[in-house]
Amino acid sequence: MSFTVHGLAVSQGIAIGHAHLVSHALLEVAHFTISPKHVEAEVARLLEATATVKTELASLKASASTGAAPSEVDAFIGMHIMILQDPMLVDAAANLIRTRRSNAEWAMVQQMEQLVEQFEAIEDAYLRERKADVVQVVERVVKVLLGHPGHLPPKRKDGLGTIVVAHDLSPTDTIGFKDHAVAGFITDAGGPTGHTAIVARSLSIPAVVALRHIRHVVKDDELIIIDGTRGVVIVDPDERVLEEYRLRKAEVELERSKLKRLKSMRAATLDGEEVQILANIELPPDATQAKNVEADGVGLFRTEFLFMSRDTWPDEDEQFEAYKTVVKTMAGRPVTVRTLDVGADKELEGATRPEDNPALGLRAIRYCLAEPKMFLTQLRALLRASHFGKLKILIPMLASSNEIDQTLILLEKAKTQLRERKIKFDEAVPVGGMIEVPAAALCLGAFTKRLQFLSIGTNDLIQYTLAIDRGNEAVAHLYNPLHPAVLRLIHQTIQAGVKAGIPVSVCGEMAGDPDCARLLIGMGLRQFSMHPAQILEVKQAILRADAADLTAKVQRLLKLDDPDRVREAVEKL
């Protein structure tokens, strides 16, 4: 019988395929008592399973690090390896086997539940969410203990792919599915910024999450349609619905293949305004993806990902190699590298003190200025890489002129240290600032006088202007990129750049949203930076835009005070 379920649309597109239910190993765990003479053998069985998972994860990480998977996956796998090595997990479970004579699977699940309880008490939403990673690691170990590490069915004869139906998916699951004909993902759990969503988007696979009980209402092999744009899942569709979706899928695919033809075209508006479209990257292998879509350069390299999921910070040489790799991959195109932006939702292992309000705390440049030794190391590595291409340095979360001055003094010091070591670098390396705090957008003179370029971080600018924690689900509905206050700050920043003759880009999520492209062109923006997967769609929107016409319309739109009327006006642009 056909039925429809609604969830959260997290990765666009249409998928038609057969259901493959991924078992929930943790639900199958039995509890039994081990005889005293078998206790040590049971501990050994646990350690062996853990070692197997460690090897699996290490080989997944090795293949992810070579660019075979999105950088988000690489970071998640690193986190899973760390969880597996934490004595609070495996050592504590081994202890349970010894003291309570429990079987290994049960001991792992018991210890997991204890840890999950502790995670639930954490106030920080990002850290609280990490309990899902603990569950996924334990599930992997339990699957090895039970002897069934999930396999996907081979390719079907009818040519349709597999729709993975799961309670939740770990990034390691998702990367494991990569070489199979996986057409889409649907899960009970998850949210727009969860693992399944992030990985599905970066692999361009349609996905709908937060379906609650989908695993219980779908049967293995059943025919399924996923509408990843509307968040709809149709189970066992009738012939008429199936035909309609086949048509829509073909249309979407045609659109996507047409987009590929835009790769080598220069982005310019109908009235000849040239626009630069740059890529946001997180790890060096992402630069290959940026090059493949012929991005005009890298507009934002978020270097904190080099520092995350590890016990020690990368030293100067390791950082230098990473920055040099990106600069060389981009072969003469500009590469804007942002200095470490940690704090708030991006924590370093043991490096930051717990804070009540981390988004307003020791974050980004504030953290770097408080850790000058670490900051100088990064600046030296950046300068050294500047010798190999067109590197620019971008400073995050600036609010006041004295932070810029202190940063420039440290940069001078890093230059002096390199000169003493007789190491070459670009003496005129451009330095820019991110405009993501309202204070910066309201005092732009201090920035345009001291810096060579600006980049607007709309993700944080929206958060700080509207006082909405970008990671808090409870206020997610209030997070509005089209709020007139936000638009005025963006417009003001772009115009200040035009007046001072310095380039301004937007590198937050807004730049990658094709619905915002016309608005930003009308505000005067000529540099966009986004995830490489979004570049062609935004380029298409720019090629269809008339900058002069949009400038006049946007002038009127910026006078509106009511967010709903702004939205209507943007839709009409």
Interface residues with ligand PEP (CB under 6 A) are: 300, 302, 341, 436, 457-460, 507-508
Residue 359 region by backbone torsions, left for phi larger than 0, else alpha for psi between -120 and 50, else beta? alpha
Of the two residues 182 and 510, which places its CB atom closer to Mg ion in the complex?
A: 510
Query: Least distance in Å: CB of 319 to ligand PEP?
Result: 18
| 108 vs 111: CA distance, rounded Å | 5
Residue 460 is a binding residue for Mg ion (CB under 5 A) = yes
Query: Least distance in Å: CB of 457 to ligand PEP?
Result: 3
Which of ligand PEP, Mg ion, none sits in contact with 80, Cβ below 5 to 8 A by type?
Answer: none
| 152 vs 187: CA distance, rounded Å | 16
Residue 371 is a binding residue for Mg ion (CB under 5 A) = no
| Residue 443 annotated among the catalytic residues of the structure | no
Which regions of 356-412 does DSSP assign to beta strands (E)?
391-395
Of the two residues 203 and 300, which places its CB atom closer to ligand PEP in the complex?
A: 300
State the alpha helices, DSSP H only, in 387-443.
401-420, 438-442
Which of ligand PEP, Mg ion, none sits in contact with 401, Cβ below 5 to 8 A by type?
Answer: none
- Catalytic: which of 195, 483, 491, 531? 195
Which of ligand PEP, Mg ion, none sits in contact with 507, Cβ below 5 to 8 A by type?
Answer: ligand PEP
Residue type, 202: S
| Residue 195 annotated among the catalytic residues of the structure | yes
* Pair 148, 52: CB distance under 8 Å: no
What does the per-residue mask of binding to Mg ion show for 418-437, with x meaning CB under 5 A? ------------------x-
Query: Least distance in Å: CB of 406 to Mg ion?
Result: 20
Total Cβ atoms within 10 A of residue 314:
17
Burial pattern 447-461, b for ≥16 Cβ within 10 A else e, equals bbeebebbbbbbbbb
Query: Least distance in Å: CB of 565 to ligand PEP?
Result: 25
Of the two residues 259 and 359, which places its CB atom closer to ligand PEP in the complex?
A: 359
Nearest to 106 by CA among 25, 27, 29: 29
Query: What tokens were used for 261?
Result: 């033809």
- Catalytic: which of 80, 167, 368, 507? 507
Of the two residues 106 and 453, which places its CB atom closer to Mg ion in the complex?
A: 453
* Pair 126, 471: CB distance under 8 Å: yes
Q: Specify burial of residue 136 (Cβ count, 10 A radius: 0-12, 13-18, 19+).
A: buried
Q: Which of 70, 457, 497, 512 binds Mg ion (CB under 5 A)?
A: 457
Query: Least distance in Å: CB of 398 to ligand PEP?
Result: 12
Residue 347 is a binding residue for Mg ion (CB under 5 A) = no
Question: Parallel, antiparallel, or unpaired: how do β-strands 223-227 and 232-235 relate?
Answer: antiparallel
| 279 vs 294: CA distance, rounded Å | 9
Query: Least distance in Å: CB of 513 to ligand PEP?
Result: 12
Of the two residues 182 and 462, which places its CB atom closer to Mg ion in the complex?
A: 462
Of the two residues 111 and 280, which places its CB atom closer to Mg ion in the complex?
A: 280
| 343 vs 361: CA distance, rounded Å | 8
Which of ligand PEP, Mg ion, none sits in contact with 458, Cβ below 5 to 8 A by type?
Answer: ligand PEP
CA dihedral 145, 146, 149, 155 (to 10 degrees): 170
**Which residues lie near Mg ion (CB under 5 A)?**
436, 457, 460
Tell me the catalytic residues: 195, 507
